[in-house]
Amino acid sequence: MSLLELKNISKIYGELKALDKVNIHVDKGEWVAIMGPSGSGKSTMMNIIGCMDKPSRGEVLLDGVDIAKESSRKLTDIRRDKIGLVFQQFHMVNYLTAVENVMVAQYYHSMPDEKEALEALARVGLKERAHHLPSQLSGGEQQRVCVARALINHPELILADEPTGNLDETNENIVLDLFAQLHKEGTTLIVVTHDPEVADAAQRTIVLEHGRVAREVINENFGK
Partner 1 sequence: MTKRRMFLRMITASLLRRRSRMLVALLSIGIGATILSGLVTIYYDVPRQMGAQFRNYGANMIFVSADGTSLDAEKTAEALSLIPKEKILGATPYRYTSAQMVRNQLSFVAAGTDFEQVQATSPYFMVDGAYPSASRQVLLGKEVAKTIGAKLNSMVEISWKPSVTEASGDTELKPGAYLAGSAEGFNSALVYVTLKLGDDLSIAEMTVNADSQTAEFGGRCAEESFTKQFIGKLIPLTAGTDVDAMTGATVTSQAVVDAVNKARPTENAQAATGNSLSLQVTGILDTGGDEEQYIFLSLSDMEALTGEQDRFDVMELSVSASAEELEEYVSQITDKSGSVSARLVKRVTRSEAAVLTKLQSLVFLVTAVVLLLTMICVSTTMMAVVTERRKEIGLRKALGASDSSIRLEFLGEGIFLGALGGLLGSVLGFGFAQVVSVNVFGSSIQFQPLLLPLTVAVSMLIAALSCMLPIKRAVQIDPALVLKGE
Ligand X SMILES: Nc1ncnc2c1ncn2[C@@H]1O[C@H](COP(=O)(O)OP(=O)(O)OP(=O)(O)O)[C@@H](O)[C@H]1O
Task: Name the residues that contact Mg ion, by CB under 5 A.
Answer: 43
Secondary structure (3-state) at 107: helix
Q: Say how far apart CA 89 and CA 166 lie, in whole Å.
A: 8
Task: CB nearer to partner 1: give 9 or 105.
Answer: 105
Under the binding rule (CB under 8 A), the answer on residue 73 touching partner 1 is yes
The full length of the chain comes to: 224
In this chain, which of 36, 149, 157, 206 binds partner 1, going by CB under 8 A? 149
Q: Which one among 4, 33, 44, 60 touches ligand X, defined by CB under 6 A?
A: 44
- Shortest CB 73 distance to partner 1, Å: 7
The CA distance from 47 to 191, in Å, is: 12
Choosing from 3, 4, 6, 18, the residue that interacts with ligand X (CB under 6 A) is: 18
- Judged by DSSP in three states, 186 sits in coil
Work out whether 43 is an interface residue with partner 1 (CB under 8 A): yes
Contact 156, 3 (CB under 8 A): yes
Closest separation in Å from C-beta 105 to partner 1: 5
C-alpha dihedral over 86, 38, 7, 201, to 10 degrees?
A: -50
**Does 153 participate in binding ligand X (rule CB under 6 A)?**
no
Closest CB to ligand X belongs to which residue? 43
> Is 54 near ligand X (CB under 6 A)?
no
| C-alpha count within 13 angstroms, C-beta hemisphere, residue 69 | 7
Bridge partner list, 218: 204
| DSSP one-letter code for 69 | G
Nearer CB in complex with partner 1: 136/138: 136
Q: Which does 173 bind (CB under 5 to 8 A by kind): Mg ion, partner 1, ligand X, none?
A: none
Q: Minimum CB separation from Mg ion for residue 46, in Å?
A: 8
